[in-house]
Structure 1
Amino acid sequence: MNNKLITGITPSKSLNWLYRKLDENPIYPPAVAEVDGEYFQLNSFDKYSNDYYLTQADTLADALNKSIDIFGASTLNTIELAHLTVICDKFNIDKRKIEAYEFHKIKGDKNFETLKSITQFCPDLQRYLSIKTIPLKTIAVFDKLETDFRRFVKNTVADKDISVQEFRKMVNLLFDMQATANPEDMGPDMMKKLAAKKDMTRISFMKQIQNLTQGLSVNAISDNNFETSELTFSFKASNIEEFSKKAENLKNDIEMIEKLYRFMNEQDIS
């Protein structure tokens, strides 16, 4: 496939899905794809240029994939994935053909409806979701909260940068509590109740982690406070014989480590 530089066109359509800060002075002209006689701008969405790089695209899905490839599917945050959903609906693009969804393991109408609802969230919540990778099923639970409870969550993320696990626990607790709570309950006392439950939940979680790692021949550490399931396993050895022995003992730890990862998966830590 050959790209070429063209001049004197005005892209009629934009596939703007970005939610991030970019270099305000890009070195290269924007890219466009021609589909059915229309030019679709693929990057530098807020800029017009005298020159454009023209790339071939057979379909709108192909053009959208090329736009994503410019930045890399792995770099997309939740808000950008939500914007993609709106674009797909607007232009009747088959979401199954969008490689970013496959990369992020997103499929099913419920998940796409959840993504679409995110575009209506307040700016504070969108900013938070662009930084933290919250599971879609947790966001779906948030979407079921009543107005006062949603406002409570919004105010919480606006005031402090809470972890993924804290957000998930808060949303689940509010969902369980909203059946019996009244709007007037949404004050300092509610925060105290949530904080107390959160502390109890955290203590229970860490106790379970301690039980699962007890007896391992290596140290298992989360460098990000269990924001993700990534763990660092380490051990010390003063000579090659000690190293070989501890490395050999790792084989006996496989079952325990499998249980550890299974537990984190059950806690929606991935």
Structure 2
Amino acid sequence: MSVTTGSNDIDFDNTEELDIPRLAESRDTIEAERTHRKRQLAAAFRIFARYGFDEGIAGHITARDPEFPDRFWVNPYAVHFSRIRVSDLLLIDEEGRVIEGDRRTNKAAFWIHSSIHHARPDVVAVAHAHTIHGRAFASLDKPLDPIVQESCAFYDDHVLFDEYKGLVLEKSEGERIAVRLGDRRAAILRHHGLLTVGRSVEEAAWWFITMERACQMQLLADAAGKPRIMTEEEVTLAHRQFSNANMARHNFNLLADLVVEEEPDVLE
């Protein structure tokens, strides 16, 4: 499958990653990469707000700092997703201390995200929010089925975390989530919601959007009847195409470009 954009063809069957920055012109220095990640992170919150992924003070997305891998950038406590700017982001160290920024952080965000960042050095970003369909599906105590092509992005690549002990306020529970996640790209947290990871902010955010919609589609299909499960051949093809990091980045950037154009204060 390819998409023609001017003189270039983008091959989504090819799993090679293409690096096409949108919100930062150059990423050849640590500072440039940091700026890029922070801009994408701020844009991701605005996108989540547009999708209705906000729920009061709940929800967080993090991006690992490129210079200090034990630290990550995160949204401040009690700031609505639709209002987050680059300058609002907090840099948190491995002990949960705010290194940069002048606002409070979210304790649950620290325990979940720090545990995953520590366990998964390949992960740059982690996304978690309390969405309607994600939470509804999380009550069913089962993984997603491969019933539509987009759901196949998570085929054999997500887990069910089948514990619930309220808010994640202890290190041990964050560590259990990280262990259960293993090397997968997503988790359904029972009675809680969804969590996705990626090697970029773009990936983690797009996988989250895709997973929330996959939950919605399965809920609708299950309510209407008995959906057909895709064959192994169909699933293999769809997983290769729809789990592609390049596709995730392009899809995210379509949304991020709209945010930057319509809400330029996000980059302040």
Q: Flag the structure with higher strand content.
A: 2
**Which structure would you say has the larger RCO, counting Cα contacts within 8 Å and 6 or more residues apart?**
2
Place the TM-score, normalised by the shorter chain, in its bin. under 0.3
Q: State TM-score, norm by structure 2.
A: 0.28
Larger Rg: 1
Q: Flag the structure with higher helix content.
A: 1
Q: State TM-score, norm by structure 1.
A: 0.27
